[in-house]
Amino acid sequence: MPEPALNAVVTLRTEISPWLIILRVAPDGWSLPAFQPGQFAVLGLPGSAPRCSLAVSEETPADPQKLIRRAYSVASSSLLSEYMEFYVALVTSGALTPRLFELNIGDRVWLGPKVTGMFTFDQVPEDKNVVMIATGTGLAPYMSMLTTHLNCGDARRFAVLHGARHSWDLGYRSELMTLVHLCKNFTYSPIISRPADEPIPWTGATGYVQDLWKGNVISDAWGFRPTPEDTHVFLCGSPAMIEDSIALLSTEGFAEQTRKTPGQIHVEHYW
Ligand SMILES: Cc1cc2nc3c(=O)[nH]c(=O)nc-3n(C[C@H](O)[C@H](O)[C@H](O)COP(=O)(O)OP(=O)(O)OC[C@H]3O[C@@H](n4cnc5c(N)ncnc54)[C@H](O)[C@@H]3O)c2cc1C
């Protein structure tokens, strides 16, 4: 079977750091499908595409024309039909990300025509508050969810807890700070784990993102501590954070949502 043509074009590349980019990709001659915030699309490039200089070298792919495909949460609004935005971390030993990092405006890429996934608000009743916990690019699906589900001034409260190593790894920070300014029912708490690396002393929270849940940031903002009766929690990012957070939340009565059992913890595993 011949590989599909590269059917989309990069229309914006924002470098958050040398290891983090936001890629905006527009379909060329076709229409983006409808999707729900939190779902993921697939990006692909052939093995013949060049790798960025930070990548470690790899063996030449057996079939250089074959597309390397990986899933990426859509970070842009489901109300937008012009393009999709993706928040991508470089895995220096990876197959696809070193190639995605070489893309520039005008370059072609394959964007899968299907957007799928269960990490959505489908099982979240509209009267429940929402806490979104992410490490790194695990923030991506929340950026899409907020554009659709956050109504400023509503009784329903939203909190984003975002963990990264350094302050410069906190992508979308100014957008989230703007939302805090505009929406009384929205809370954003970044936390960094390597404050010693900061060129200017970091005055915010330090440690792991789970530490924010253990502390008082949400109850200080909301005036009460979230419980399984009033709040659903989303987890996205590193496996260690997800495992620790589920264990922590379980001690407070939260249960994981599965295909068979309802729960208040919704999980997306990136790897
Ligand atoms: C539903 C879903 C949504 C995803 N959304 C995003 C997203 O929005 N942004 C994003 O950057 N990635 C996302 N990923 C991960 C993405 O699909 C790729 O796995 C990742 O970009 C690495 O691809 P690669 O080909 O460069 O590495 P590969 O050659 O596939 O090697 C991956 C290996 O590198 C390790 N690794 C280290 N750091 C990471 C990391 N940050 N992500 C994945 N693997 C890592 C793991 O051990 C993993 O097995 C998502 C994955 C899934 C399943």
For ligand 1, whether the C-beta of 73 sits within 6 Å is yes
d(CA 109, CA 49): 10
Q: Which residues pair with 237 in a beta bridge?
A: 269
Specify which residues 254 forms β-bridges with. none
Check if 94 has its Cβ closer than 6 Å to any atom of ligand 1.
yes
Report the pLDDT value the prediction gives residue 14, as an integer from 0 to 100. 98
89 lines ligand 1 (CB under 6 A): yes
Going by their DSSP bridges, the two strands 108-111 and 8-17 should be labelled as antiparallel
137-142-145-147 Cα dihedral, nearest 10 degrees: -90
First and final C-alpha spacing in the chain: 28
pLDDT of residue 80: 95
Distance 243 CA to ligand 1 centre (A): 17
Residue 226: predicted pLDDT? 98
Give me the DSSP letters along 39-85: -EEEEEEETTSPPPTTSPP-PPPSSTTSEEEEEEE--S-TT--S-EE
Three-state DSSP at 193 gives coil
What pLDDT score does 194 carry?
98
Nearest to 41 by CA among 100, 92, 1, 126: 100
Whether 67 lines ligand 1, by a CB cut-off of 6 Å, is: no
**What pLDDT shows up at residue 265?**
98
- Side chain identity at 3, as an amino acid letter? E
Per-residue pLDDT, 1:
76
Q: What is the pLDDT along the chain (271 residues), one digit of tens a residue?
A: 788 999 999 999 999 999 999 999 999 999 999 999 999 999 999 999 999 999 999 988 889 999 999 999 999 999 999 999 999 999 999 999 999 999 999 999 999 999 999 999 999 999 999 999 999 999 999 999 999 999 999 999 999 999 999 999 999 999 999 999 999 999 999 999 999 999 999 999 999 999 999 999 999 999 999 999 999 999 999 999 999 999 999 999 999 999 899 999 999 999 9
The Cα 169–Cα 16 span in angstroms is 7
Q: At 180, phi and psi to the nearest 5? A: -60, -40
Which value, to the nearest 10 degrees, does the dihedral of the CA atoms of residues 226, 232, 234, 235 take?
60
- Residue nearest (by alpha carbon) to ligand 1 atom 38: 91
SS3 assignment, position 172: coil
